[in-house]
């Protein structure tokens, strides 16, 4: 495996999520970063010897910053910091978040502004390479002074100054001291500021946010493909997607959305009724680029915000080696991530809401241009009800997604930590809600995808006399159609639609199969990779 050197330079979203998803790596600290780090450590050591007053180094923390800490207690102060922060609560978080946080923390410490020895960052990277993941709890950060409680778990694990930590080494759960021994490491005492450098920053919130926005980008790509399936099944008119229209309202997201839908829909589309009763389609069809375009731009903006935070040195105080000074400031506030994740949840709800309107249109004969009620397959049997139950499941999910869109950041407590943290970023909580929201949206997209395939099969029957929906979609949508059918083990013969008789399918099982496929980034997500790439090419820096 090729070795990756961590040197403090910019890390991109895909770098973080790729490494987070792996169970092994080969990462090491670059020599140039080690030199910078050692110089910042020497600077802190001199300042302590000269009895300079430095927050969290020769003083207490937060509201106790007026407490003087002498040189003889400076190291004990750092070890005790990791001890009193051993206070997380709730369920264990996804290991991907912790791995991403370890990578981000190592990289920003490598910039040499934090007064921490290279040996400690090297330990973080050794943990990453060996698939040693500290067990971090879901509750414990308000995004002020950074992610103190969750980051302290990583600090205790890699240093061993306190054994109040568990570590997953592969598929085994070990005490922190056992994990260190397995990796051939001894506990290491902390120097002045090193505990603070480990815990004081937004790296964990940024890590969760990176995973959430990465999933959201995938879900956005799948949303466009499913929407295209539905537009084709509903026989949407072509004028609303015309390039001329969108050049007259040239928002970047709108232009990209219209262009993407034109690419997804087949050329020379055959309509059931070339002269529809309505001169123009209803808003969910006619205004799709305008509606989703703003969401597209929002997710692009969130990506940029998260990537900036990922690469920011966010602890306090900072060592400015160039000017030979220490700056005591507030880069640790997680406001950017918190607001971005509030927005991400809102955009996720908007995508679900629009799909929910399309589904409601598909199942209503008054609006669906001749498709059967509830998209039932066998209309000859009066008791067949089609996808009624599936729509109810979708209806149960969609309101929760819009509810997740409520903001968290504006609800900060003002009294935290002796009123020192009297404004809070709440980035940790907002990012975790965003992660949950993307997972819930994945379940909703499984519902929407089944509606899309069934609707295409029934439209193919009305247009061509058989049930193979692939015959009426373009080459960009065919891989998704086939991936969905294969994921739920449905044969694509064209003799029957996805659902013919209600008893033909166990929809609950198929929803689970589709969700698993998407969660594992299997064939369903692979089929929309061109859309994701187009988004990245258009909007990423």
Residue-range domain boundaries for the chain: 4-200, 209-316+333-539
What separation in angstroms does the CA of 90 have from each of 93, 136, 138, 140?
9, 9, 5, 9
Span 522-538, mean pLDDT?
98
Any idea which residues carry the catalytic annotation?
Answer: 55
Token pair 């149960």 is found at 396
Q: How many residues does the chain have?
A: 541
Give me the pLDDT at residue 464, please.
94
Classify 170 in phi/psi space as left (phi over 0), alpha (psi -120 to 50) or beta.
left
Span 488-510, mean pLDDT?
94
DSSP single-letter state for residue 72:
G
- CATH number listed for the domain at residues 4-200: 1.10.275.10
Token couple for 400? 């929760």
Give me the pLDDT at residue 274, please.
53
pLDDT in tens, 139-161: 999 888 889 999 999 999 999 99
Residue 400 has pLDDT above 90, yes or no: yes
Give me the pLDDT at residue 454, please.
98
Give me the pLDDT at residue 500, please.
94
Q: How confident is the model at residue 271 (pLDDT cuts 50, 70, 90)?
A: low
Considering only 15-29, 45-59, 425-439, which range has the smallest mean pLDDT?
Answer: 45-59
Span 162-166, mean pLDDT?
94
Question: Quick one: which H or E segment has residue 484?
Answer: helix 478-487
Token pair 């669906």 is found at 368
DSSP single-letter state for residue 59:
B
Q: How confident is the model at residue 69 (pLDDT cuts 50, 70, 90)?
A: confident
Q: How confident is the model at residue 419 (pLDDT cuts 50, 70, 90)?
A: low
Considering only 5-14, 82-91, 329-338, 446-455, which range has the smallest mean pLDDT?
Answer: 329-338
Q: How confident is the model at residue 272 (pLDDT cuts 50, 70, 90)?
A: low
Give me the pLDDT at residue 250, please.
97
Residue 420 has pLDDT above 70, yes or no: no
Give me the pLDDT at residue 67, please.
83
**Rounded to 5°, angle at Cα 480 from 479 and 482:** 65
Q: How confident is the model at residue 280 (pLDDT cuts 50, 70, 90)?
A: confident
CA distance 220 to 28: 34
Q: How confident is the model at residue 61 (pLDDT cuts 50, 70, 90)?
A: confident
CA distance 119 to 191: 12
Residue 275 has pLDDT above 60, yes or no: no
Give me the pLDDT at residue 476, please.
94
CA distance 291 to 464: 32
Cis omega before residue 196 (within 30°)?
A: no
Q: How confident is the model at residue 74 (pLDDT cuts 50, 70, 90)?
A: confident
CA atoms within 13 A on the CB side of 200: 25
The Cβ of residue 166 has, within 10 Å, a number of other Cβ atoms equal to 18
Token pair 């099969």 is found at 457
What's the mean per-residue pLDDT of the chain?
93
Residue 207 has pLDDT above 90, yes or no: yes
- Options 3.40.50.1980, 1.20.200.10, 3.30.360.10, 3.40.50.12280; CATH for 209-316+333-539 is 1.20.200.10
Give me the pLDDT at residue 417, please.
65
272/60: higher pLDDT: 60
Span 212-222, mean pLDDT?
98
Name the burial class of residue 370, with classes exposed (0-12), middle (13-18) and buried (19+) by CB atoms within 10 angstroms of its CB: exposed
CA distance 362 to 160: 59
Phi, psi angles (nearest 5°) of residue 166: -115, 150
The Cβ of residue 249 has, within 10 Å, a number of other Cβ atoms equal to 12
How much of the chain exceeds pLDDT 70, in percent? 96
Tell me the sheet residues that pair with 172.
169
């Amino acid at each position: 495996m090729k070795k990756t050197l961590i040197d403090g330079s910019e890390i991109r979203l895909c770098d973080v999520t790729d490494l987070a998803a792996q169970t092994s790596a080969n990462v090491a600290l670059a020599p140039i970063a080690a030199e910078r780090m050692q110089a910042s450590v020497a600077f802190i050591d001199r300042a302590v010897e000269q009895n300079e007053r430095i927050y969290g180094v020769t003083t207490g923390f937060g509201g106790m910053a007026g407490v003087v800490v002498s040189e003889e207690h400076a190291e004990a102060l750092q070890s005790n910091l990791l001890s009193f922060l051993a206070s997380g609560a709730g369920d264990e978080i996804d290991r991907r978040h912790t791995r991403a946080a370890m990578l981000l923390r190592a990289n920003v410490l490598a910039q040499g502004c934090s007064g921490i020895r290279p040996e400690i960052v090297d330990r973080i990277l050794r943990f990453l390479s060996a698939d040693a993941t500290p067990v971090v709890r879901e509750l414990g950060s308000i995004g002020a002074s950074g992610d103190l409680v969750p980051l302290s778990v990583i600090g205790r694990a890699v240093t061993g100054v306190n054994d109040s930590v568990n570590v997953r080494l592969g598929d085994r759960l070990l005490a922190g001291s056992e994990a260190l021994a397995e990796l051939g490491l001894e506990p290491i005492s902390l120097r002045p500021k090193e505990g603070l450098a480990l815990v004081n920053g937004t790296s964990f919130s940024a890590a969760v946010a990176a995973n959430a926005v990465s999933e959201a980008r995938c879900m956005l790509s799948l949303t466009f493909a499913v929407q295209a399936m539905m537009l084709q099944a509903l026989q949407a008119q072509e004028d609303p997607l015309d390039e001329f229209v969108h050049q007259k309202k040239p928002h970047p997201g709108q232009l990209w959305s219209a262009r993407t839908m034109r690419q997804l829909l087949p050329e020379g589309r055959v309509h059931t009724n070339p002269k529809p009763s309505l001169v123009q389609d209803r808003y969910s069809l006619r205004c799709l680029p305008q509606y989703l375009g703003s969401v597209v731009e929002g997710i692009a903006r969130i990506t940029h915000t998260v990537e900036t935070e990922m690469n920011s040195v966010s602890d306090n105080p900072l060592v400015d080696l160039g000017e030979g000074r220490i700056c005591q400031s507030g880069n640790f506030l997680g406001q950017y991530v918190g607001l971005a994740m509030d927005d991400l949840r809102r955009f996720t709800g908007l995508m679900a809401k629009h799909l929910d309107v399309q589904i409601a249109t598909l199942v209503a004969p008054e609006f669906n241009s001749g498709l059967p009620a509830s998209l039932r397959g066998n209309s000859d049997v009066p008791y067949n009800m089609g996808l009624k139950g599936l729509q109810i499941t979708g209806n149960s999910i969609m309101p929760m997604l819009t509810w997740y869109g409520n903001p968290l950041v504006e609800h900060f407590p003002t009294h935290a930590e002796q009123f020192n943290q009297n404004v809070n970023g709440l980035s940790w909580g907002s990012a975790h809600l965003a992660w949950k929201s993307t997972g819930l949206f994945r379940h909703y997209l499984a519902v929407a995808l089944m509606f899309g395939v069934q609707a295409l099969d029934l439209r193919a029957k009305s247009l061509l006399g058989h049930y193979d929906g692939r015959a009426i979609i373009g080459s960009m949508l065919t891989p998704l159609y086939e991936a969905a059918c294969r994921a739920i083990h449905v044969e694509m013969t064209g003799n029957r639609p996805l659902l013919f008789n209600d008893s033909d399918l166990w929809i609950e099982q198929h929803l689970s199969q589709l969700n698993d496929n998407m969660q594992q980034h299997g064939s369903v997500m692979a089929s929309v990779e061109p859309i994701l790439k187009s988004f990245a090419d258009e909007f990423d820096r």
